[in-house]
Amino acid sequence: MLMQRQLWIASLAAMTVWPTMGHAENLSKDIKKAVERSTLDQPTAKAFHLRALLAPSFERDKESGRTGEVEIWWASPNQWKREVRSPEFHQIEIVDGAHNWQKNEGDYFPQWLQQTAIELIRPAPPLNEVLEQTKRAEIRRIGPMTHLSWIIPSGTAEVHNIVRESVALQNTTGLLLYAGGLGWGAEFKDYADFHGRMVARTVNVGSPQVTAKITTLEDLGAMPVGFFDTTGKDGDSQPLQTVLIDEVTLRKNLLPIEPVSWPPLQDGSLEGNVTGRIVVDRAGNLREIETIVSENSGVNETGKHAITAMRFKPLLWTERRFR
């Protein structure tokens, strides 16, 4: 899992550190090259058909319900079709020029499923933001890889918090090993060539971790007439969208909560934050919680229960703000 890997790297931070700006700038170029080598949906990319099967990475998570499949038919950035399926959700989405059409079965598009569908073809969606952050990143070389990490301030004036983001490159190949930040990220394995692009055939996402294995990656070929046409199709009048918002904005919609009764602690830090990444639906219901992180693991379970109990006012937007 990404968070576990990041903590493990931090424990070995003393190995080698390169603080020079010149090296950071060179690595920024290396990251840009690595991401672009593995991104399938670029304007100059070969049209493709991709299918991947999804399942929990570990036996302990087999009851998580995180199974499914992703299938994509991509002709160009402005013409593609994607179908995603899990036990509780099914979506068909078609983009044809300025027309975006969706048909959904289920009122909530699981974030882990959506993130996996994106990571299969675009390993670092906010690439420009990542490249800007890597110019100031902390750089470590650990064995056969180079790890870059940075911190983005979060939280409120009363509760200071941070978001950790990172990227790691394999030194011998220059390919991505893993990358991640708020709302995106994965671990990449089993690279193979597709028309000059090195594409990870195994992609691990989220917590509980899901493994997506690409079973088909081939040229798109000739498609039936009207395959990407959205005219006259019975789609949803209100497409599902995911909006990435900061903690300050989300807290403004938080309904009053009961005080938390923290357990007595014998060891470790007695002060600090409990942090988790959450997904809230339009009605204000909490749908997903990522791994809980705190300064003292003895409060993790209590912190998770406290976050799970949170409720929010319905989230209404007058403008779209996507990452």
Is residue 323 domain-resident?
Answer: no
129 & 15 share domain = yes
Tell me if 52 sits within 8 A of 215, measured CB to CB.
Answer: yes
For residue 156, what pLDDT is reported? 75
For every residue of 197-215, DSSP letters joined together read: EEEEEEEEETTTTEEEEEE
Claim to verify: residue 37 and residue 126 sit in the same structural domain: yes
The answer to whether residues 212 and 256 belong to one domain is: no
Same domain, 29 and 164: yes
Domain match, 104 and 146 both: yes
207 and 278 fall within a common domain: no
- Predicted confidence at residue 316, as pLDDT, reads 65
Per residue of the chain (323 residues), give pLDDT as tens: 232 222 232 322 333 333 333 466 689 999 999 999 999 999 999 999 999 999 999 999 999 999 999 999 999 999 999 999 999 999 999 999 999 999 999 988 999 999 999 999 999 999 999 999 998 899 999 999 999 999 888 777 777 777 889 999 999 999 999 999 988 999 999 999 999 999 999 999 998 999 999 999 999 999 999 999 988 888 998 888 888 888 888 888 899 988 888 888 878 777 777 887 888 888 888 888 877 777 778 888 888 888 888 899 987 654 333 33
pLDDT at 317: 52
Residue 318 lies in a domain: no
3 state DSSP class of 292: coil
- Residue 232 placed within a domain: no
- Of 236, 199, 184, give the one whose Cα is nearest residue 72: 199
235 within a domain of the structure (yes/no): no
Cα separation, 7 vs 293, whole angstroms? 10
Q: Are residues 131 and 272 in the same domain?
A: no
- Asked if residue 229 belongs to a domain, the reply is no
Does residue 71 share a domain with residue 31?
A: yes
Quick one: 83 and 159 in the same domain? yes
Buried b (16+ CB within 10 A) or exposed e, 276-290: bbbbbbeeeeeebeb
* pLDDT reported for residue 21: 38
In a domain, 314, yes or no: no
Q: How many domains does the chain have?
A: 2
pLDDT score for 53: 98
Same domain flag for 149 and 268: no
Structural domain that includes position 292 = 247-308
pLDDT of residue 1: 28
pLDDT for the residue numbered 173: 96
Domain boundary among 219, 236, 263: 219
Q: Please give the pLDDT value at position 94.
A: 97
From 117, 126, 39, select the one nearest 82 (Cα to Cα).
117
Same domain, 73 and 200: yes
What per-residue confidence (pLDDT) applies to 128? 95
Are residues 293 and 164 part of one domain? no
Q: Tell me whether residue 200 is in a domain.
A: yes
Of 182, 200, 219, the residue at which a domain comes to its end is: 219
Contact between 108 and 279 (Cβ < 8 Å): no
